Chains A and B, each alone.
Chain A
Amino acid sequence: MFDLIELAGVNKVYRAGASEVQALIDVNVTVNKGEIFGVIGHSGAGKSTLLRCVNLLERPSEGRVTVGGTELTSLGEKELQSRRQKIGMIFQHFNLLTTATVRDNVAFPLKISSLTKKEVKARVDELLELVGLRDHQHKYPAQLSGGQKQRVGIARALANHPDVLLCDEATSALDPHTTESILELLKDINSKLGITILLITHEMNVIRSICDRVAVMDQGRVIEMGDVLSVFLNPQHPTTKGFVSQVTDMIDTEALGIRSEGRVVRINYMGNTAYEPVLFETVRSTAATFVILQGTVSRMKDTPYGQLIVELRGERKDTDHIISELRQQGLDVTIIQ
């Protein structure tokens, strides 16, 4: 896989008089070409600074930033400006020109392109079509809803055919329904136009619906990073567990363990096994039985997954057999008790 964005050994220190705030501490993040990478963290965790380091709106105090093979941290101002044209960015508060119509907002970044008037018109038409705002092209931002404003923001960010789209809390100011439609649009842009997306958010729901990989940030550090599914199913750090619990009932294994008579196991499964009666078939082949104590079955981006806490009741050899059989079938089984 090709690394499109690479942050290597990035540190960022803010100095205000005598005090220092370390906003980023030794951040190493690689975003692959074509993926949707999410960074989640509470406010003040440093995710916004991290995102702004990618297009150097914030210059790292230390470390290297590389986008598409170009080391941005070594570029001069002019070269950086021209590279930025290929890095789209959308914002929580949209940041549209209030004095320009939808159409002129979308055309705005093309002012510094080499396109002719006619080409600009064609490109803007195409973009308005893509985000579904043709009917609103002559309105001003103040006349639009939040979701429509973000669509203008997206169209504007895509104007110069970027290879990367940076999303700064793009759905945080939107209601849940609108959030969903914007996330769908971003997913489409990623899959149809092949644009790599790096987004930051404090909502686990955003990560779950569209991201391939995730980094969790806390106090300026990346504390956990990996495939969304594995981070989601096996969160290690308390902060990560907190985010995961936003979208599922966290399974309180300790409380469960106290009252059970058999062996309590946690089974994680994903992909097509989610639709197979693996557990039932396996248990049926023995003399044991099982009780489901708690469970979640859901979908992460396009992958179905499930997490069950099951109590296996029966002879030790039967339960041992069930556990090894499930593992052989590719399920992730953890013995809790």
Chain B
Amino acid sequence: MSFFENVNWADIWKASKETLTMLGASLFFTLIIGLIIGLVLFLTSSGQLLQNKWLYRLISMVVNVLRSVPFVILMITIMPLTKMMVGTSIGVKGAIPPLVVAAAPFFARLVEAALREVDRGIIEAAQAMGFSKGMIVWQVMVRESRTGLIAAVTITAVTLVSYTAMSGIIGGGGLGDLAIRFGYQRYRPDVMLVTVAFLVILVQALQMAGDALVRRFSRK
């Protein structure tokens, strides 16, 4: 077919694998760091188990600052830090730290919102039973908010897909990199179309998997 004459499928596969690697690695760290920040945000907020006005305000401010910087700018800004952490600021490896720095605060806010949905009464019941704060966090709060948390993971994963594509602008590797170098800079619309199609499929798959899990765990 002549329309796809510029498409090098080996490149597409390689780029897809790179995107999945960046997505997988950054999602992994984002979930761990974001969950912890989200829990701390929730627990230190007013009326909660570890209520602490100043700690909450501090973390909240840092999260807001990180979330207000557009991803591309953030990525460029923290380049020295990225280089210090992984030895390079380009390619698949160099894209992961900025992806985590951008997505973790976002995920943390989603975690905070999901935890806020847990019925206060259930927490009170667990306190009355003699549960410690740590057990209440893991056995009650995280458990009861699991559908909200799964939805938050899905949204974050989808956001990360678009961030990985953007990281191509400054040499991040993956499908975004391919789209920019070939599709945009060399005027090859067929390459652009294929990369976009792959990204759409990836996002669809993530969303469907997330929705299926929410249905599977929903008890309401």
Contacts and interface: CB of A to CB of B under 8 A. Distances in A.
A108 B129 contact: yes
Nearest to B129: A109
Interface stretch (B28-36, B82-90, B131-139): B131-139
A111 B139 contact: yes
Interface stretch (A31-39, A83-91, A262-270, A326-334): A83-91
Interface in B203-220: 217, 219-220
B70 interface: no
Interface in B99-138: 119, 121-122, 124-125, 127-132, 135
Given A97-B140, A99-B146, A111-B139, A82 B130 contact: yes
Main SS of chain B's interface residues? helix
A252 to B, nearest CB: 42
A285 interface: no
A272 interface: no
Nearest to B219: A140
A79 B122 CA distance: 22
Nearest to B121: A95
Given A91-B121, A111-B139, A55 B144 contact: no
A57 B125 CA distance: 10
A112 B131 contact: yes
B128 A112 contact: no
A142 interface: yes
Interface string A148-186: 000000001000100000100000000000000000000
Nearest to B144: A99
B128 A87 contact: yes
Given A93-B121, A96-B122, A85 B219 contact: no
Interface string B178-212: 00000000000000000000000000000000000
Interface string A92-109: 011111111000000011
B143 interface: yes
Contacts of A87: 128
A231 to B, nearest CB: 28
B140 A84 contact: no
Interface of B: 119, 121-122, 124-125, 127-132, 135, 139-140, 143-144, 146, 217, 219-220
Q: Nearest 9 pairs between A and B by C-beta?
A: A84-B130, A95-B121, A95-B125, A85-B130, A89-B128, A109-B129, A81-B130, A140-B219, A95-B122
Interface of A: 55, 57, 78, 81-85, 87, 89, 91, 93-100, 108-109, 111-112, 140-142, 156, 160, 166
Given A84-B129, A95-B124, 13 more contacts: A57-B124, A57-B127, A91-B121, A93-B119, A95-B121, A95-B122, A97-B140, A97-B143, A98-B119, A99-B217, A109-B129, A112-B131, A160-B130
